[in-house]
Amino acid sequence: NRIETSKFPGVVARPIGEFRSNADYQYQLLRCNVDLLKIIQLGLTFMNEQGEYPPGTSTWQFNFKFNLTEDMYAQDSIELLTSSGIQFKKHEEEGIETLYFAELLMTSGVVLCEGVKWLSFHSGYDFGYLIKSLSNSKLPDEEVDFFEILRLFFPIIYDVKYLMKSCKNLKHGSILVNFILSFISVSENYFELINNND
C-alpha cells in the first residue's frame, strides 16, 4: 500500500466549447492544464495492509526540475508553494528530470501491479501528472480513455475524498472520519516539515 501527494503549478487554462456534462468539463480542465504544465513535487509513503510502515525510510519526496523563468505556472500557486517552503532555485538546479523518474518508477514494481493499493486525497491531477510522465505523452482527449490508462498503471486506487462522499452517514468523531482527518493532517504536516528542513 502506498500514499501519494503531489505539488503542481496551479491552473493556467480553461477549456472552451460545449461539454457533455460537468464531469466532461472537469476532465478537459485537468487535461489541458496537465498537458501544459509540469509536476513540481511528488511524495510517496509505503505501508502494509495493516497500515504499518516498513523499517527505515517509508516516505520519499521527489523534487522535479522546474524553472520559474521558463516553465508555465499560475502566480498564486507559486506564491502558495513558496510560502509552504518549496525552494524553486533548488528545483531549477537539482530537480529530477520527469522522464528519468518515470523510467525508474516503471521498473520499481509499484505501477502496473494489482498488489499495490494507492491511497490519495482528491488525486485527479496527481494521477494526471503521473500518467503524463509514465506514458511520455499528453493525456487522452476523452475521460473514458484516461480511466483505462489509469486502471492499467494504478489498478487499485482509494481516493479518500470520494470515499467520504460515498459514506453519507459519517459523523464527526467516527473512526473512519478520524482516520481520514488524521491521514490528511499527517500527509500535509510531514511534507511541510520536509520542505522546511531542505
Output the CATH code of domain 2-196: 3.30.420.10
Answer whether residue 141 shows pLDDT above 80: yes
Answer whether residue 195 shows pLDDT above 60: no
Range in 46-55, 62-71, 188-197 with the lowest mean pLDDT: 188-197
Residues 24-49 have a mean pLDDT of: 96
SS (H, E, C) the chain: CEEEEEECCCCCCCCCCCCCCHHHHHHHHHHHHHHHCCCCEEEEEECCCCCCCCCCCCEEEEEECCCCCCCCCCHHHHHHHHHCCCCHHHHHHHCECHHHHHHHHHCCCCCCCCCCEEEECCCHHHHHHHHHHHHCCCCCCCHHHHHHHHHHHCCEEEEHHHHHHHCCCCCCCCHHHHHHHHHHHHHHHHHHHHHHHC
Range in 28-32, 155-159, 166-170, 190-194 with the lowest mean pLDDT: 190-194
- Tell me what pLDDT residue 193 has: 52
- Tell me what pLDDT residue 113 has: 96
- Tell me what pLDDT residue 122 has: 84
Extract long-range pairs of 9-18: CB within 8 Å, 24+ residues apart: 9/37, 9/38, 9/40, 9/66, 9/71, 9/72, 9/73, 9/74, 9/77, 9/78, 9/81, 10/37, 10/73, 10/74, 10/76, 10/77, 10/78, 11/74, 11/77, 12/36, 12/37, 12/72, 12/73, 12/74
Calculate what percentage of the chain has a pLDDT beyond 70: 81
Q: How far apart are CA 65 and CA 97, in angstroms?
A: 6
53-98 per-position pLDDT tens digit: 899 999 999 999 999 999 999 999 999 999 999 999 999 999 999 9
Instruction: Provide the whole-model pTM.
Output: 0.83
- Tell me what pLDDT residue 186 has: 54
Cα–Cα distances in angstroms (integers) from residue 11 to residues 40, 89, 141, in the given order = 13, 21, 18
User: With the CA atoms of 11, 140, 157 and 14 taken in that order, what torsion angle do they form, in degrees rounded to the nearest 10?
Assistant: 20
Q: Which sequence spans correspond to the domains of the chain?
A: 2-196
Q: If pLDDT is split at 50, 70 and 90, which confidence band does 49 have? A: confident
- Tell me what pLDDT residue 52 has: 87
Answer whether residue 51 shows pLDDT above 90: no
